[in-house]
Structure 1
Amino acid sequence: MSAQVLVSRPPAPQSLPPESRPVHSVEPAYNSGEHTSSGLATSGFRTAKYLLEEWRQGGDTSYYQADSDRDCSERLRQEAKRLAAECEARAQRSQADSTRRLGERLLDIHYWRAELERETRDVTAETGQLLQQKSRLERALDATEIPYSIASDNLQCRERRVGAELVRDGVELELLREVELIRNVQDLLKRTLDQTIQQIRQNRDAKEKLEMDWSDKVEAYDIDNKCGHYNNQSTEIQFHHHSSKFEDNTSTPESWAQYSHENIYKAERERMASINLRSLIDNILQDTAEDLRSQCDVVNSAFARRCEEVEDVKRKLEDHLQKTLKEIGGQENNIAALKQAIKDKEAPMKVAQTRLYQRSYRPNVELCRDPVQFRLVSEVGELSESVEYLKQKLEESEQSLRNLEDTRMSLEKDITNKANTLFIDREKCMTHRTRYPVVMKLTGFQ
């Protein structure tokens, strides 16, 4: 049986030369050869012993291990002393750098706080001016009710025109355009008013965000200012073991500055939108007032032209009525003459037909188609044709007389209707239109 020898010391450091490193394990020594002990003489003794070379190697290993431990200890002492000095210097540098960075942070906070305060003042002033424009829009919207009622009343009055006078003339077209224009103006003013209310709400929201950001920065400034005055001799300092942990909701310097920048940018954007909206409101009120007054003048001119036209047509109708009455008298005389002419053709017709009747009794061969017979037949035809022509002309004359009578009645009715139209347009509509509001009222200044 053989025994294996193991080294109980830890291995030598890696810095030792390869040939000086201790042997971790050696091959077991066997007792063999001529000095081998065997039998009862070696009973009770170990059978495997260290060799002399192994004993020497074990001693060398102990020496090298002691030298290595001393070198390591001395090196650790030097490194600890140096590390303590470095840590002290680093702690002082870190504290000084933190204090400096706190000062820089205070400058940044002060800058953004001043910018937020300035923008808040600007937004507040702009919101006040926009509120004044909102009041103008409301007054202008109320002022459009009078033109709308006037135009609607004009259209309703003109619905009372009678007969052919109930026509879609230029006045009605202009009145319809006026009503449509007023409705469009009202819709535009309502949309602009809604947009103004929405812009005021957005301005106030932007102001609220600015004020909240400003308030947070005031609080942060006080906290950082207090932190900047702490030092190693301060009495308020203490351990806070979990304070060095980053919170999940913390921001970065870039996102912190970007947040305030975005708030100011949004506020400036809303303020510029408010300024543009105020300018737009001025233009809208001015343009709508001018458009309404211009359309009012167009309608008044159309009324004037229409009244002149109706008056002229009325005079012409009266002239035609006089001529028609005169023509009716002439046509009545013509009808009487035609009737007499038809009556006058009865006697010649009787004579011709009697001759033909008597000659039909001629005996035998005497019943001849002589020229006399042909002429008598032709005479009856001519008389019949003449009577037919006269009767046809009589019917046409009677129809013409009836037409003249209808025309007379129509002319009289038209004259009456046009007199009613003139009364409606002049006395009702044009008088009512004198209450049309002026430009200053339509622009919301009154």
Structure 2
Amino acid sequence: LAEQELIKEMNLVSDVRATLKSTLEKIEEQMLINKAAKHRIEYDWCDKTMAYDTETMNIGLNTKTNTILFKPGSTRFGEFSAPLEYWEFFCRENVQNSEAARQKSADLRGSLNAILVNGGRKLRTQADKTDIILAETVAITQELCTKLEETLRNTLQKIADMELLIDDLHNSIRKMDAAMKLAQTRLDNRNT
């Protein structure tokens, strides 16, 4: 049973490791998505900051400002100018993409938290089962060792008792030798 529980624990550890590895790959992928979304937002923010600074400066101008001049070609749109509709679309799309990336990150964090909690709980439960079975196995083994030691002592005592009995029988046989010799000598003397 202990070996089976250890095998179950080893399989569970492998499963948790594989799950964590696949989750790590998802996290790395999500980090790339987050970096791209951050880059787009920072780029948009930089553009908006520059436009805000320009508009702040323009609001401060009036007809009596000393720095106003005639500027030929200022009424045409520059190369990097965008119509208001595109600007609104780009802003909305940026916000939606960023929000989607943020939500996906939040979902991934929740998923990772659930994986860690469930994996930890499963590992702890299996470890407890394994510890219980190992403790039972150790207790049974100790009990068997105690019984074997007791049986060994009893067997050694019986062997020692048998050896003493054999020695007593040898001594009894030796004591009988003189009486046997006497009886045989007397019988032989009568027959001669």
TM range (shorter): 0.5 to 0.7
Question: Taking CA–CA contacts closer than 8 Å with sequence separation of 6 or more, which of the two structures ends up with the larger relative contact order?
Answer: 2
2-side partners of 1:221 and 1:245: how far apart?
20
Runs of 4+ in 1 over 6 A off after TM superposition: none
Give the match for residue 49 of structure 2: 218
Q: 2:91 aligns with which of 260, 269, 281?
A: 260
CA RMSD in angstroms, aligned pairs only: 3.2
1-side partners of 2:78 and 2:46: how far apart?
21
Task: Tell me by how many angstroms 1:303 deviates.
Answer: 4.1
Task: Tell me by how many angstroms 1:256 deviates.
Answer: 0.7
Task: Tell me by how many angstroms 1:178 deviates.
Answer: 1.7
1-side partners of 2:134 and 2:56: how far apart?
79
Give the match for residue 188 of structure 1: 19
Residue 251 (structure 1) aligned with residue 43 (structure 2): no
Give the match for residue 101 of structure 1: none
Give the match for residue 7 of structure 2: 176
Residue 202 (structure 1) aligned with residue 33 (structure 2): yes
2-side partners of 1:215 and 1:250: how far apart?
14
Identity across aligned pairs (percent)? 31
User: One-letter code of the match for 1:223?
Assistant: T
Give the match for residue 181 of structure 2: none
Higher-Rg member (1/2): 1
2-side partners of 1:247 and 1:216: how far apart?
14
2-side partners of 1:219 and 1:249: how far apart?
12
Give the match for residue 297 of structure 1: 128
User: One-letter code of the match for 1:241?
Assistant: P
2-side partners of 1:229 and 1:306: how far apart?
87
TM-score normalised by length of structure 2: 0.59
Give the match for residue 68 of structure 2: 237
2-side partners of 1:175 and 1:220: how far apart?
66
Provide structure 2 residue ranges, at least 5 long, that are not aligned to the other structure. 152-192
Task: Tell me by how many angstroms 1:233 deviates.
Answer: 4.2
User: One-letter code of the match for 1:292?
Assistant: L
Provide structure 1 residue ranges, at least 5 long, that are not aligned to the other structure. 1-169, 319-446
Counting only pairs closer than 5 Å after superposition, residues 317-336 of structure 1 correspond to structure 2 as none
Give the match for residue 163 of structure 2: none
DSSP-derived class of the 2:81 partner? coil
Give the match for residue 102 of structure 2: 271
Task: Tell me by how many angstroms 1:186 deviates.
Answer: 1.3
Q: 1:287 aligns with which of 111, 115, 118?
A: 118
2-side partners of 1:220 and 1:305: how far apart?
76
User: One-letter code of the match for 2:104?
Assistant: A
Give the match for residue 228 of structure 1: 59
2-side partners of 1:288 and 1:217: how far apart?
46
